[in-house]
């Protein structure tokens, strides 16, 4: 049996495991009492309304780009582009549909059977997203490769996945942070009501945002990273090692999916006294399986273990970057404690401490990426760099699982609060949500590291496609391209941050209006108008995501046509360097501010209501769009611009 058919069987197995999880592990569980079902339906309907409206816009964009690809490139690339776009949207739809069904069941299990039951429901819900990303992504890659037998054509598939990912990340990020800011600044700071209080008009929109940003958006992000890494590795593997390069890549990706399924089954079969240790254990189990398989496959295809060591380089680098992310964002370490201490002297010192922590957090991850690049290149040349990216993303199934687990537990806590469940239920969900912050940090570490390696391997693919052997910084056009590329992540971040601010302003005004016009809302005698807040956040986010999304596609084409392919190479290099730096800085600064606030809420520096807490809330508010909108979107920006350059390379020569 060929490697392609075996890979297709494994990809289908991932989808079957996803369906089994939904039918056997999630939907048979009780959704709780009528109030819980009502709140859950608010969240579910709001999330699906947003997704449908967002997908309508994306569908129009996809059709326009597909027509242009058919006219200026070729029909094969157009077909791959459409398939990549459709499967990415389908993965996001399935993941969010199940996540919004899992949240209420997680809350009910916390009430009925305690921490262990709630943990397994949240993990099961996350695994659906993980299997949808890897299963559907891999199915699309295999089918297109089987049909066209040309890995370079698959760049169209990657372009489709990247297009959807950018809009999903930006749109979802703007939505969730606009709702979050409205809920926090008016509800918690001005009105003095607790988080997730049902009296807050923005509270449902806030919970919807957890799904559209951290489930659908994150899923589309990693669908794109996963597909891009595999396709880049197949392309470079075919160039330098013919069928051996392609076969090794496909087998490795298949083993990664199987390893994620095995780790998930082991997790679901056991009781868990230490949830964080158990969740981290799934990453280690799946990673070890991939490493063992890499040695066997490396010896089979290349007669040595160099390819295996290149894979190890990427996998270890991803884990190290994830752990480093935790060092700068967890209250177990000095950096978050320092921000908490600085909060006691006011907002300004809190902001300064958070910014400096974010900047400092770039140092060691960048060194890890640099070392990984050099080691991988020395082992297998440019193909080694692509393998390092595949190694990092081979366990995407389980990485997405432990990442998507977080928003489900967060939503469960909100449902518990709004449904007036016993306090111990909220304690359980908050504890699980806190662990989710750590797993999410590790997931972001993998996303950032893989973005750097994947973008670099795609850059090499671009160089191959136009026979670019070197770029001279003595060439004025190359230098101009580098400066333009270095500027783009800053422009992109400014646009997305401003978009959050505009959308949040509308949300804040709406929450204030409802409190002012109806005093029965704060008295708890009447439910606020949740639907209006959901509508405001949806409309604003969809309007604001257009310019940043189009920017990533249009600018490389303009630079390539006007300044030429060498200048475009300079642009990609400049964007890669500043984009990775900015992504690490913004994600970690935001995470540190968030956990500094929670650390103070645990009782230090005066606890809730203290001046330090008020300063920390402001810092967390600033950090929210850093870590959930602009930072994660930069990962996609640098990859999308490179893929656009590869697909349209023929127009620039």
**d(Cα 373, Cα 160) in Å, to the nearest integer?**
27
**d(Cα 406, Cα 436) in Å, to the nearest integer?**
4
pLDDT value of residue 186: 80
Do residues 639 and 455 touch, judged by C-beta distance below 8 A? yes
The predicted model gives 181-202 an average pLDDT of: 79
3-state secondary structure of 467: coil
Count of CB atoms within 10 A of residue 168's CB?
31
Q: Residue 550 belongs to what domain range?
A: 3-651
Two structure tokens written together for 187:
């509800």
How confident is the model over 364-376, as pLDDT tens digits? Answer: 999 999 999 999 9
Give me the number of domains the chain comprises: 1
Question: Which of the residue ranges 355-359, 440-444, 536-540, 608-612 would you say has the lowest mean pLDDT?
Answer: 440-444
**d(Cα 511, Cα 182) in Å, to the nearest integer?**
7
Do residues 163 and 591 touch, judged by C-beta distance below 8 A? no
User: Which DSSP state fits 232?
Assistant: H
Do residues 201 and 514 touch, judged by C-beta distance below 8 A? yes
> Closest Cα to residue 291, out of 280, 274, 307, 269?
307
- 388-418 burial, b if ≥16 CB within 10 A, otherwise e? bbbbbbbbbbbbbbbbbbbbbbbbbbbbbbb
Do residues 361 and 588 touch, judged by C-beta distance below 8 A? yes
The predicted model gives 249-270 an average pLDDT of: 95
The predicted model gives 66-77 an average pLDDT of: 94
Burial class (CB in 10 A: 0-12, 13-18, 19+), 502: middle
User: Which DSSP state fits 641?
Assistant: H
> Closest Cα to residue 333, out of 554, 599, 561, 519?
599
Share of the chain above pLDDT 70, in %: 99
**d(Cα 502, Cα 517) in Å, to the nearest integer?**
23
Two structure tokens written together for 414:
């909100």
How confident is the model over 9-34, as pLDDT tens digits? Answer: 999 999 999 999 999 999 999 999 99
**d(Cα 263, Cα 283) in Å, to the nearest integer?**
8
How confident is the model over 424-472, as pLDDT tens digits? Answer: 998 898 888 877 766 776 777 777 888 888 888 888 888 888 887 788 8
DSSP 316-342: HHHHHHHHHHHHHH-TTSHHHHHHHHH
Task: Tell me: pLDDT of 578 over 90.
Answer: yes
3-state secondary structure of 410: helix
**d(Cα 363, Cα 564) in Å, to the nearest integer?**
33
Count how many residues are written for the chain.
653
**d(Cα 17, Cα 127) in Å, to the nearest integer?**
9
Task: Tell me: pLDDT of 580 over 90.
Answer: yes
pLDDT band at 602 (very low <50, low <70, confident <90, very high): confident
The predicted model gives 501-524 an average pLDDT of: 87
pLDDT value of residue 629: 87
Two structure tokens written together for 329:
């964002």
Count of CB atoms within 10 A of residue 610's CB?
17
**d(Cα 224, Cα 235) in Å, to the nearest integer?**
16
3-state secondary structure of 270: coil
- Inter-axis angle of helices 275-302 and 423-465, nearest 10: 20
> Closest Cα to residue 84, out of 225, 191, 193?
225
pLDDT value of residue 441: 67
Do residues 114 and 192 touch, judged by C-beta distance below 8 A? no
Share of the chain above pLDDT 90, in %: 55
Two structure tokens written together for 176:
């969730």
3-state secondary structure of 346: coil
The pLDDT mean for the chain works out to: 90
CA angle 567, 573, 578 (to 5 degrees): 125
**d(Cα 86, Cα 84) in Å, to the nearest integer?**
6
Task: Tell me: pLDDT of 230 over 70.
Answer: yes
pLDDT value of residue 438: 66
Give backbone dihedrals phi and psi of 43, rounded to 5 degrees, phi first: -65, -45
pLDDT value of residue 192: 77
- Inter-axis angle of helices 203-211 and 75-112, nearest 10: 130
Two structure tokens written together for 34:
């009528």
3-state secondary structure of 528: coil
**d(Cα 37, Cα 140) in Å, to the nearest integer?**
36
Two structure tokens written together for 189:
């700071």
pLDDT value of residue 437: 67
How far does the chain reach from its first CA to its final CA, in angstroms? Answer: 41
How confident is the model over 482-506, as pLDDT tens digits? Answer: 999 999 999 999 999 998 888 888 8
- 54-68 burial, b if ≥16 CB within 10 A, otherwise e? bbebbeebbeebbee
The predicted model gives 562-583 an average pLDDT of: 94
User: Which DSSP state fits 274?
Assistant: S
pTM of the model: 0.91
User: Which DSSP state fits 475?
Assistant: S
**d(Cα 595, Cα 329) in Å, to the nearest integer?**
7
Two structure tokens written together for 433:
């949500």
Do residues 357 and 592 touch, judged by C-beta distance below 8 A? yes
Do residues 186 and 511 touch, judged by C-beta distance below 8 A? yes
**d(Cα 648, Cα 644) in Å, to the nearest integer?**
6
The predicted model gives 47-52 an average pLDDT of: 88
């Amino acid at each position: 049996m060929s490697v392609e058919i075996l890979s297709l069987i494994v990809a289908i197995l991932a989808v079957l495991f996803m369906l089994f999880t939904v039918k056997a592990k999630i939907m048979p569980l009780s959704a709780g009492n009528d109030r819980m079902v009502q709140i859950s339906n608010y969240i579910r309907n709001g999330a699906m309304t947003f997704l449908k409206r967002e997908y309508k816009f994306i569908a129009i964009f996809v059709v326009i780009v597909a027509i242009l690809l058919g006219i200026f490139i070729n029909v094969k690339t157009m077909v791959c582009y459409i398939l990549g776009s459709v499967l990415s949207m389908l993965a996001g739809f399935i993941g969010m549909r199940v996540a919004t069904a899992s949240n209420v069941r997680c809350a009910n299990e916390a009430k009925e059977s305690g921490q262990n039951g709630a943990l397994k429901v949240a993990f099961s819900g996350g695994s659906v997203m993980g299997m949808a990303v890897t299963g559907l992504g891999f199915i699309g890659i295999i089918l297109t490769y089987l049909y066209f037998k040309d890995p370079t054509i698959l760049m169209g598939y990657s372009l489709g996945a990247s297009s959807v990912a950018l809009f999903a990340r930006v749109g979802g990020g703007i939505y969730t942070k606009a709702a979050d800011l409205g809920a926090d600044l008016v509800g918690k700071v001005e009105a003095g009501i607790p988080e997730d209080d049902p009296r807050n008009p923005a509270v449902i929109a806030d919970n919807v945002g957890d799904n559209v940003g951290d489930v659908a958006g994150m899923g589309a992000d990693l669908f794109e990273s996963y597909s891009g890494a595999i396709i880049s590795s197949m392309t470079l593997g075919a160039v330098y090692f013919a069928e051996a390069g392609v076969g090794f890549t496909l087998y490795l990706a298949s083993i990664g999916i199987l390893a994620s399924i095995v780790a998930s089954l082991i997790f679901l079969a056991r009781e868990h006294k230490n949830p964080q240790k158990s969740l981290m254990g799934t990453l280690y189990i799946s990673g070890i399986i991939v490493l063992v398989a890499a040695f066997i496959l490396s010896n089979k295809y290349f007669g040595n273990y160099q390819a295996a060591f290149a894979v190890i380089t990427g996998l270890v680098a991803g884990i190290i970057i994830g752990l480093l992310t935790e060092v700068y964002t967890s209250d177990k370490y000095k950096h978050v404690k320092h921000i908490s201490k600085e909060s006691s002297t006011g907002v300004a010192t809190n902001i300064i401490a958070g910014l400096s922590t974010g900047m400092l957090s770039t140092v060691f991850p960048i060194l890890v990426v640099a070392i990984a690049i050099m080691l991988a290149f020395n082992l297998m040349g440019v193909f080694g760099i692509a393998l390092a990216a595949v190694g990092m993303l081979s366990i995407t199934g389980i990485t997405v699982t432990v990442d998507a687990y977080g928003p489900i537990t967060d939503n469960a806590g909100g449902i518990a609060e709004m449904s007036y469940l016993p306090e111990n239920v909220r304690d359980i969900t908050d504890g699980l949500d806190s662990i989710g912050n750590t797993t999410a940090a590790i997931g972001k570490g993998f996303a950032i590291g893989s973005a750097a390696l994947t973008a670099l391997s795609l850059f090499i693919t671009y160089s191959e496609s136009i026979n670019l052997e070197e770029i001279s910084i003595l060439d004025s056009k190359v230098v101009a391209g580098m400066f333009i590329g270095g500027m783009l992540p800053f422009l992109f971040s400014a646009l997305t941050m401003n978009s959050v601010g505009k959308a949040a302003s509308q949300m804040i005004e709406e929450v204030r209006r409802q409190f002012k016009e109806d005093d029965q809302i704060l008295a708890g005698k009447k439910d606020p108008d949740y639907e209006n807040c959901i509508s405001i956040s949806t409309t604003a986010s969809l309007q604001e995501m257009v310019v940043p999304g189009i920017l990533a596609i249009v600018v490389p084409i303009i630079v390539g046509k006007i300044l030429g392919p060498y200048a475009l190479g300079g642009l990609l290099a400049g964007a890669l360097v500043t984009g990775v730096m900015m992504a690490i800085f913004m994600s970690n600064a935001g995470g540190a501010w968030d956990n500094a606030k929670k650390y103070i809420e645990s009782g230090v520096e005066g606890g809730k209501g203290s001046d330090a807490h008020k300063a920390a809330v402001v810092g967390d508010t600033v950090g929210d769009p850093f870590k959930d909108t602009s930072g994660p979107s930069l990962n996609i920006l640098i990859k999308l611009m490179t893929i656009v350059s590869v697909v349209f390379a023929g127009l620039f020569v």
